[in-house]
Structures are given as structure tokens and as C-alpha cells.
Amino acid sequence: MQSFSDVLNLVKDYFLEKVRKNELTETAYRCWIKNIEPDRFENNTAYLLVSSQFYRGILIDQYMNQLKEAFEAVLGFPVHVEINCTGEEAPQPAQPFAEHVAPETVPAESAAGTPASGPEPPHRQQVFSGGSASDLSFWDKKMQESGMTGDYAYTFETFIVGSKNKFAYSACQSITDPKNFQNKQYNPLFIYGPSGLGKTHLLMAIKNELHKKAPQLNVIYTSCETFVNELIIAIKKQNTDEFHTKYRSMADFFLIDDIQFLSGKESSQEEFFHTFNELYQGGKQIVITSDRPPKDINILEDRLKTRFEWGLLADIGAPDFETRVAIIQRKAELLHLELSDDITNFIATKLKTNIRQLEGAVNKIKMHKLYTGSEPSLSIAQTVINEILNDNQPMPITIERIIDEVAQTYRVNAADIRSNKKNAPISQARQIAIYIAREITQATMKEIGQEFGGRDHTTIVYTLKKVENLIKTNAHDRGIIEDIIKNIRDK
């Protein structure tokens, strides 16, 4: 960890995890967290920069406690947070964070930071009709009155059913019927499909329905990433018995999201294998989601893939046009926003593959109306869609990104990959990173050598041949390398 900027990126990752868990709306993240800029870190105080007093006021009033919580989660100790406006005082360059915190404070395997934030949208720097951007009380009241968040309960009633998700929806409903509690026909129930199509909604709907119909049952919902992280903590604290009790002994229904996160994590796969077996043999219902079917999850033990296919596989596809229209209309209704058929159909035609994008478009149109007083129009919808599509463009593939991804996979420090350290784990990670850099970037061998500690052309050629031979002879390592490349290209 080199700078305060890196720490802030991890803090933003912490908020993104809240979005994924439905503890924070995506709109809230994009509006108030994503564009925070780093200033400096001094005396256990994080100094942050934002573009306006209005923006600053929202953070202080609504998000200060969450920011402190996020910094403490990342750094491991309490942090005071100060927020200033750009230009309010001369910002100092982000200082090397190592001057303030010992290197081991932030684990080397922490997730890579989010893309650098773009400039603050112009509308937040304007004076809006009815009140100024710096009038926090006015705009806070306006946002509350307008139902700005447009949140809804994650239930079966709020799930928009269409031809591409009806099968998965029906299966989820079936397992929550008390008549089927004894005869678990769909166990495990494995739901798969690309991100943003409602898999997490269905898991939460199962949980909420069971709380209503069978409150005596213990329903455990978790993400696979949380499962892995809790296991790591339990091992470090030598307290795996408590971990086992939570997941193996207490659950009547076990719901786990994004199981593909187990890919390449051998110890976690071993733990999940035994957790699965104990739950299954105990007659407990298991529901799993993934972004791909079991057979396509690389670096996953065959015995796990086999178990995932014991019950029912249910896929979710991109919503058809009619379903997309229904989703837009439902979100607009929640936001008390009137959209013409032309605007609704236009959004449904342009955004075809992701429910979050559809709902995000309606949120943005609502925000535009709130901030400017302008009624929704096709022109505004076009601008909003362009912003969403630009926001969802993949990050440029850089050698830095490759090193970060390889470092996370092999549990080493990214700085060590660039160094001349020669112990086996670092050397292997470095060789893999060099190979991937040559495969998926336009960098020359000389440029790659410079990125990896100034290594010469001969060394790079030797490394490439060595990894190519490894790929040909070792299926396990080939799978890891393919998965790293896929993760990088998918981001």
C-alpha cells in the first residue's frame, strides 16, 4: 500500500460491497461516494475533498458514520474524517501512506481499487430552481419528499417475472412453500446468470418469504466472499468451531451468493465441501447463485461441481422487451416519476442486458428532474443512457491492473511482483503476470521488462517460454491463468 489514494479506493470497495448486499443503493454510491477525492492522511485523520458545500453537507449529515466505519474496516483502527471542498484550502499531495501506517495494516490480498473517479457532474455545481446547491436543508427535504431512493423490499411480489427468469422464480417460490419443507425436491437449487439480472433479489425474496411463513426457521444468507473472509478470520483467530457452528449447525436454509468466488481458493473449497455435505445430509435446504453454471467455474473441484448439479439448475437470462418495460415502469412508480411511453420504450430498447442499468436510468432521470426542474424528455433519457453506457465500459487493461489481479490470486504483495525478490510464490506470480501482460496488452517486451523491475529482453523471453510450457503441462495452473485473464477482461 503506497498512498492514501489506495486506501480511499479500498474504502470505496467497502461501500460497493454494501451495494452488492443491498445495504446501500447504487444511486447513493454513484452520487455521494464514488467521486470523493483523497487529500491527505495525518494524525489518524483522513482528509477528503468534494466539489461543493452541498455535496459536503450530504456526506457529513448522511454518511459520516459509514465513512468512519469503512476506514476502520480497511485500516484496522479508528479514523477521524474531515471533508473539505475543492479549492477551499490548498490540497496537499497524497503522501505515502507508509509514513502513517505500518505496511502490514492493510493486507496484500485486499481487493484492487475502483477506477479513478471522474469529475463532479456539472449539475452539482449549479444553482437550482427553488434553492441553491449549498442549501442543504432545502435539498435534503426535496430528496426525501420525492422518494429519491426508490428502494423496495426484495420480495417475490416486487420481482418482475418474464420469460427469461420465470423458471428460477417458480423454483424459488416452491422451496418456500411449507408443504415442500420435508420433500426437498430442489436441493441444492443452483441459480446462475450474468450480473444484474436479479439473482440476489431472489435470494432475499426467499429469506423474506421464510421469515413471514416460517419464522421459527433459521435462514442464513451470505455472499461467498463473506464466507471466505470469515473463514480466514476464524483460522487466524484459531476459532473455527464458531465458524462451523454458524454455517453447519444453525442453518435450516443456507443461501449463498456468487459461489464463483470460490474459484482457485483451495482451503475455502475444502471448507465449503464439508459445510455442504453436513447441511445436505442433515436435510437442510441449500440455494446457490453464480454468474455461470457449475461446469464453467474454473479452478473448482470436480466434487463440488458434481454436488452443485445434484438438485436443480435454473438459469436467468437477460429480460425481454416487455419485462424491461415493466421494470422501468415499476421503478418510475416507486419514484413518483411520470415517464411517457416513448421514454419508457426508448430506455427499454437501448438498455437490454442489465436490470440495474434500467433502474439506474430511471434514478438518473428522477435526479435530473429534482435538480433542474425539467420534465423527463427523450433528450434527457439519451444523455442518461450515454452516461450509463460510458460508466459500464470496461476499465483499460494496464500492466498495473494485471499485477494487482495476479497479486490477489497468489496472495502476494503487488510491490513484490515488481521487485527482485526471488522466493518461490513471488517468482511464480511475477512470471504469470509477465506472461499475461504479453498476452493481453499492446506493451512491447522492453516496456514489460521496465514495468517488472527493469528486466532485460532475454529474461522476458525466458519467462514467456517457461509459462507457455507450464500451460501445456499443468492443467491446474492453466486454469488459474485463464481465470485471471477472464477476470481482467470482464472488469
Compute CA 246 distance to the chain's CA centroid, rounded to the nearest angstrom.
24
Report residue 115's pLDDT band, with 50, 70 and 90 as the boundaries: very low
Report residue 29's pLDDT band, with 50, 70 and 90 as the boundaries: confident
Q: What is the pLDDT of residue 26?
A: 75
Alpha-carbon distance of 115 to 5, in angstroms, equals 11
Q: What is the pLDDT of residue 250?
A: 84
Q: pLDDT digit string (tens) for 118-156?
A: 333 333 333 233 333 333 334 344 444 444 444 557 889
Class of domain 321-391: mainly alpha
Alpha-carbon distance of 23 to 371, in angstroms, equals 25
Q: What is the pLDDT of residue 225?
A: 86
Report residue 60's pLDDT band, with 50, 70 and 90 as the boundaries: confident
The H or E element that residue 27 is part of is helix 26-28
The CATH fold assigned to 399-490 is: Chromosomal Replication Initiator Protein Dnaa; Chain: A; (1.10.1750)
**What mean pLDDT, rounded, does the chain reach?**
80
Share of the chain above pLDDT 70, in %: 84
What is the chain's Cα-based Rg?
24
Q: What is the pLDDT of residue 324?
A: 92
Residues 6+ apart with CB under 8 A from 311: 185, 186, 187, 188, 189, 190, 286
Question: What average pLDDT does range 283-303 have in this prediction?
Answer: 89
Does the pLDDT value for residue 69 go beyond 50?
Answer: yes
Does the pLDDT value for residue 182 go beyond 80?
Answer: yes
243 or 264, which is more confident: 243
Does the pLDDT value for residue 476 go beyond 90?
Answer: no
Cβ atoms < 10 Å from Cβ of 442: 6
Q: What is the pLDDT of residue 477?
A: 82
Q: pLDDT digit string (tens) for 189-231?
A: 999 998 888 899 999 999 999 999 999 999 999 999 889 888 8
- Strand locations in 44-179, DSSP E? 45-50, 80-85
Q: Which of 264-273, 336-345, 371-380 has the lowest mean pLDDT?
A: 371-380
Q: What is the pLDDT of residue 275?
A: 93
The H or E element that residue 286 is part of is strand 285-290
Q: pLDDT digit string (tens) for 380-421?
A: 898 888 877 775 555 567 888 899 889 888 888 888 999 988
CATH of domain 166-315: 3.40.50.300
CATH of domain 4-106: 3.30.300.180
Q: What is the pLDDT of residue 7?
A: 87
Q: pLDDT digit string (tens) for 429-464?
A: 999 999 999 888 878 888 899 889 889 888 999 999
2: burial class by Cβ within 10 Å (0-12, 13-18, 19+)? Answer: middle
- Would you call 299 helix, strand, or coil by DSSP? coil
Domain ranges of the chain: 4-106, 166-315, 321-391, 399-490
Question: What average pLDDT does range 230-241 have in this prediction?
Answer: 86
Question: What average pLDDT does range 332-348 have in this prediction?
Answer: 90
- Bridge partners (DSSP) of residue 257 are 223
Per-residue b or e along 226-259, where b marks 16 or more CB atoms closer than 10 Å to that residue's CB: bbbeebeebeeeeeeeebbebbbeebbbbbbbbb
Does the pLDDT value for residue 332 go beyond 50?
Answer: yes
Does the pLDDT value for residue 298 go beyond 80?
Answer: no
